[in-house]
């Protein structure tokens, strides 16, 4: 719980600064690129979080990362602050909360589409457009594959859930047969 509160505090602080600088989208994209890129190198995040390494070594590691990712000076200062205050371990949560704040600001909704087999980008985009018409806001879907649903599609966007999976239908049939409902 404390981690969530800490991450939210930093995400809101950065978001307020971004609004003042009129860079909310840019900061969001840079943070997401950075967080996605660092996911592939957990040892780097571990080194930045570790109490074993002195702060100057951590700042050098961060500087190497920043030279690769090319971020705004404000994002650079923000990341240095996270390392300095030993909050870099919350980076993933901060990025997620920042994206939520950005989505709210832009009237967007994020969700997921779950299928038994991979869908193409064209199919995902078509589904996003259909949901945009239905929900009256921009929708961004993350495609996931779950073979256990057998077939069909399940969509979750906020509180909106559309479950057209074969697994769900079979469970309903089973309930009807067992309970006679």
Report the pLDDT averaged over residues 8-18: 95
* pLDDT the model gives residue 4: 86
**Does the pLDDT of residue 181 top 70, yes or no?**
no
* DSSP letters for 82-123: HHHTT-GGGHHHHHHHHHHHHHHHHTEEEEEEEESS---HHH
Report the pLDDT averaged over residues 12-36: 94
Q: What is the CATH number of the domain that holds 121?
A: 3.40.30
Task: Note whether 26 and 78 are same-domain residues.
Answer: yes
Residue-range definition of the domain harbouring residue 174: 107-179
Task: Note whether 95 and 15 are same-domain residues.
Answer: yes
Task: Note whether 94 and 161 are same-domain residues.
Answer: no
Task: Note whether 66 and 45 are same-domain residues.
Answer: yes
**Does the pLDDT of residue 125 top 90, yes or no?**
yes
Cα–Cα distance measured from residue 151 to residue 173, given in angstroms and rounded to the nearest whole number: 15
The pLDDT-based confidence of 127 (bands split at 50, 70, 90) is: very high
Task: Note whether 67 and 38 are same-domain residues.
Answer: yes
- What's the predicted TM-score (pTM) here? 0.73
* pLDDT the model gives residue 114: 97
In the chain, how many domains are there? Answer: 2
Q: What tokens were used for 175?
A: 């309930």
Domain final position from 104, 128, 147: 104
Domain final position from 60, 85, 104: 104
**Does the pLDDT of residue 162 top 70, yes or no?**
yes
Task: Note whether 99 and 120 are same-domain residues.
Answer: no
Task: Note whether 128 and 40 are same-domain residues.
Answer: no
Task: Note whether 90 and 118 are same-domain residues.
Answer: no
Report the pLDDT averaged over residues 74-92: 91
**Does the pLDDT of residue 88 top 90, yes or no?**
no
Task: Note whether 117 and 60 are same-domain residues.
Answer: no
Query: Which range, 32-36, 58-62, 81-85, 124-128, has the best average confidence (pLDDT)?
Result: 124-128
**Does the pLDDT of residue 1 top 80, yes or no?**
no
The mean pLDDT of the chain is 91
Report the pLDDT averaged over residues 83-105: 91
Task: Note whether 124 and 149 are same-domain residues.
Answer: yes
Task: Note whether 72 and 111 are same-domain residues.
Answer: no
Report the pLDDT averaged over residues 105-121: 94
Task: Note whether 35 and 86 are same-domain residues.
Answer: yes
């Amino acid at each position: 719980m404390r981690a969530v509160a800490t991450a939210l505090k930093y995400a809101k602080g950065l978001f307020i600064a971004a609004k003042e600088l009129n860079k909310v989208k840019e900061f969001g994209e840079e943070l997401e690129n950075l967080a996605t890129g660092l996911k592939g190198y957990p040892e780097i995040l571990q080194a930045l979080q570790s109490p074993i390494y002195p702060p100057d070594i951590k700042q050098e590691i961060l500087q190497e990362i920043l030279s690769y990712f090319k971020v705004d000076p404000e994002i650079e200062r923000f990341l240095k602050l996270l390392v300095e205050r030993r909050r870099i371990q919350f980076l993933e949560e901060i990025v997620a909360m920042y994206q939520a704040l950005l989505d709210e600001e832009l009237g967007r909704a994020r969700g997921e589409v779950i299928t038994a087999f991979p869908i193409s980008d064209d199919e995902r985009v078509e589904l996003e457009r259909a949901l945009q018409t239905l929900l009256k806001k921009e929708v961004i879907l993350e495609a996931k594959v779950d073979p256990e649903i057998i077939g069909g599609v399940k969509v979750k966007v906020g509180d909106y859930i559309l479950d057209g999976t074969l697994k769900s239908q079979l469970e309903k049939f089973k309930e009807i047969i067992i309970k006679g409902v």
